[in-house]
Amino acid sequence: MADGIDQLPVVRTITCSHPSHAGYEKDFSEFWTGAPDSKLTNRGDTKKWNGGFRGRPALADALWPELRNYLIGRKPSIFNNAITALRAFWRFLDGYERYGMEPISQLSDISTSLSILWLNPIDEMWSAHSRQAHEIIGVLVRNARKREKMQSAWAWHPYPRAESTESKELPTEGQIRTAMHLLKQSAYGIYARWKRADAMAAEGKNLLTVSRSRQGERNQKGQLKRAFDFELTEADAHATYRAFIASSGNPLPSMADLFVALGLNGKDYPPWWPTYSQDHPQAGQVVR
């Protein structure tokens, strides 16, 4: 279960301001105190319930003003959507931590890579969730970060679009298992790359804010061989890419988009663009 349910009283109720639903209110205190593994109806029967979760008071405090703003003038159905989304996210965070990952306690712990991993359950440690839940949590976290004036590069990975198909053929159980295995491996790889890149980005320079040389030796394409008066590193590439995510609002910009923002031809990597460091499987190749 949701370990450590806080017994201290917490009152976090939002009253509906929609004119047709005067008097309706919803209690959100469970996100501070935690929720039990099972719930009972007024008759003592077990409710349909997807399981408990632990309280995260610091994170709940950070999202609370945005939740209240989000629900202004909304109908009770939207209140229910919001509480369902938050429960799904809180359960995901519990599963993520049980998997051995670092604890998620506050707003700054919600990384871009976390939003990717929520979309790719690993070893059934957490459940799939709806597009609606994903988008609601993205709105709350994004607005809370704006309110707190967080400067680090960040984006909420979008929920994948449904692929339409005209084929009537259904996959076999073996094909489904193979696809799930590949998806899990892909999620592992994506998360590992983003976590490594996030750590390096914190140490790198944002090249979008550094003056670049316009003079010097050029290659046959007319590109400068060196554009800065310091040696570029992989960390600089990651820092620049994440800064561009934050400034453009695009969670997955292409490298061509980034190069255009740097005032370059978007088609080609410049000769001075940094390469992966020696601890990377693609050491020596340009950072992509």
pLDDT digits (tens, 9 = 90+) for 152-166: 778 888 888 765 445
Provide the sign of the torsion angle of the four alpha carbons 92, 9, 140, 56, taken in this order. negative
Residue 32 lies in a domain: yes
- Do residues 117 and 253 share a domain? no
d(CA 15, CA 67): 12
Residue 78 lies in a domain: yes
**Three-class secondary structure of residue 43 per DSSP:** coil
pLDDT at residue 7, rounded to an integer: 47
pLDDT at residue 11, rounded to an integer: 75
What element of type H or E holds 14? Answer: strand 13-15
Residue 169 lies in a domain: no
212-230 tens-digit pLDDT = 877 888 888 778 788 888 8
Tokens standing for residue 99: 């998997």
Residue 2 lies in a domain: no
Which residue ranges in the chain fall short of pLDDT 50? 1-7, 164-165, 167-168
Residue 53 lies in a domain: yes
The closest alpha carbon to 83, from 19, 30, 16, 157, belongs to 30
Residue 54 lies in a domain: yes
pTM higher than 0.85, yes or no?
A: no
- β-strand partners of 199: none
- Token look-up 């290659």 returns 219
- Helices 131-147, 76-98: inter-axial angle, 10-degree rounding: 90
Residue 7 lies in a domain: no
Question: The domain containing residue 144 runs over which residues?
Answer: 13-39+46-160+179-187
- Do residues 69 and 183 share a domain? yes
- Do residues 61 and 116 share a domain? yes
Tokens standing for residue 142: 């994004």
- Do residues 105 and 65 share a domain? yes
Residue 284 lies in a domain: yes
Per-residue CA distances from 9 to 5, 40, 52, 102 (Å): 11, 20, 18, 28
User: Looking at the 3D structure of the chain, how many domains does it have?
Assistant: 2
- Do residues 73 and 207 share a domain? no
